[in-house]
């Protein structure tokens, strides 16, 4: 094992050693399986490792929070998932959870308490902001100098949970130019994937929502579209592809940008 620079312990492993993590990193289904979002998971883990926080993941014991099932109306399936997860989390006496997925964040934070799961749940944008405030995360100067970045508010971070400042604070240390889209913060426009839309074709209309949103992002002239959500990442990347702008514009997660600025990637 000593070959490996990064230790990614599972909670089960820690428990076997009689230890407990300070914070559980909830990876989420997209973070575990989606090829693009796995990169975000890895970037975030590298940051956690670098700052030396005692974290752990559930590994194969993690399962879907049930968010898409609940929003598609299947309350039974949601609750089955939630209760199974709560049994695992409570079994390990987890107290603090960090996740890069606003959907997991919202469900764990707001919806699990009614079913007996009470944890301190933090989205990685807030977590990163705290690390920055504590001086534990800094950015190397110059990498992003003169670059325009626009942040796409995820509905489940913003309107659903009132987190607008943390992601912007995180981007501020990049020494880039932060530009806002026409619709941002409380007025932000959905990427089109929430409410289980990710898992079906959109209804008929004039346009797909992600195209509309990508147009707004491109209108800012930004070279980087920053996001803090796996669904937004997919939708915006598809939008950029659709507009044939992959050459000029990239979609990146907050964690990736910070990892890059810290020379971790």
Partner 1 sequence: MSLLSQLFFLILLGVSAFFIGRRILQIRKNILLGKEEDRTDQPQRRLKTMLLVAFGQKKMFKRPIAAFLHLLIYVGFLLINLEVLEIVLDGLFGTHRLFAPLLGSFYPVLINFFEFLVVGVIFSCVVFLIRRHVLKISRFTKIEMKGWPTMDATLILVIELVLMVAILAMNGADQVLQTKAVAGYPVTGAFFFSSIFIPLFEPLSANTLIIIERVAWWGHIAGIFAFAYYITYSKHLHIFLAFPNTYFSNLKEKGEIKNMDNVTNEVKSMLGLPADPPPAEIPRFGAKDINDLSWKHLMDAYACTECGRCTDSCPANTTGKVLSPRTIMMKTRDRAEEVGESIRKGGAGLEDGKSLYGDYINKEELLACTTCNACVEACPITIDPLSIIIEMRRYMAMEESSTPQSWNAMFQNVETSFAPWKFPPTDRFNWAQDVKAKISDQ
By CB under 8 A, residue 90 contacts partner 1: no
Whole-number Cα distances in Å, 194 to 68, 91, 190, 234: 8, 30, 8, 12
Residues 132, 62: Cα–Cα separation, whole Å: 28
Residue choice 146, 201, 244, 247 for contact with partner 1 (CB under 8 A):
201
Give least dist CB 179 to partner 1, A.
Answer: 21
By CB under 8 A, residue 197 contacts partner 1: yes
Residues 89, 72: Cα–Cα separation, whole Å: 25
Give least dist CB 46 to partner 1, A.
Answer: 8
By CB under 8 A, residue 16 contacts partner 1: no
By CB under 8 A, residue 52 contacts partner 1: no
Give least dist CB 26 to partner 1, A.
Answer: 12
Q: Encode burial over 239-262: b for 16+ CB neighbours within 10 A, e otherwise.
A: bbeeeebeeebbbbbbbbbbbbbb
Residue choice 21, 117, 167, 192 for contact with partner 1 (CB under 8 A):
192
- What's the DSSP call for residue 57? B
**Residue 135, SS3?**
coil
Check if the beta carbon of residue 128 is closer than 8 Å to that of residue 47: yes
By CB under 8 A, residue 169 contacts partner 1: no
Question: CB under 8 A: which stretch of 15-23, 168-176, 183-191, 248-256 binds partner 1?
Answer: 183-191
**Residue 165, SS3?**
helix
CB nearer to partner 1: pick between 29 and 240:
29
Task: Please give the residues from 220 up to 259 whose contact with partner 1 meets the rule CB under 8 A.
Answer: none
Residue choice 16, 199, 219, 246 for contact with partner 1 (CB under 8 A):
199
């Amino acid at each position: 094992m000593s070959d490996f620079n990064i230790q990614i312990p599972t909670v089960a492993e820690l428990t076997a050693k009689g230890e407990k993590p300070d914070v559980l990193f909830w990876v989420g289904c997209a973070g575990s399986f989606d090829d693009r979002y796995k990169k975000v998971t890895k970037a975030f883990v590298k940051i956690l490792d670098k700052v030396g926080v005692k974290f752990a993941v559930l590994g194969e014991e993690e399962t879907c929070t049930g968010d898409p099932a609940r929003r598609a109306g299947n309350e039974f399936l949601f609750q089955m998932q939630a209760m199974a997860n709560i049994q695992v989390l409570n079994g390990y006496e987890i107290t603090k959870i960090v996740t890069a997925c606003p959907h997991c964040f919202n469900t764990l934070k707001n919806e699990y308490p009614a079913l007996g799961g009470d944890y301190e749940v933090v989205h990685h944008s807030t977590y990163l902001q705290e690390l920055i405030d504590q001086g534990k995360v800094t950015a190397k100067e110059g990498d992003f100098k003169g670059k325009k970045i626009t942040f796409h508010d995820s509905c489940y971070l913003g309107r659903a949970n009132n987190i607008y400042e943390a992601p912007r604070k995180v981007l501020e240390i990049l020494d880039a130019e932060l530009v806002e889209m026409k619709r941002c913060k409380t007025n932000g426009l959905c990427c089109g994937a929430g409410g289980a839309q990710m898992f079906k074709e959109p209804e008929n209309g004039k346009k797909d929502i992600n195209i509309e949103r990508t147009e707004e992002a491109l209108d800012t002239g930004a070279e980087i579209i920053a996001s803090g959500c796996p669904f937004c990442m997919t939708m915006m990347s598809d939008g950029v592809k659709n507009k044939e702008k992959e050459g000029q514009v990239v979609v990146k997660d907050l964690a990736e940008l910070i990892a890059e600025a810290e020379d971790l990637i």
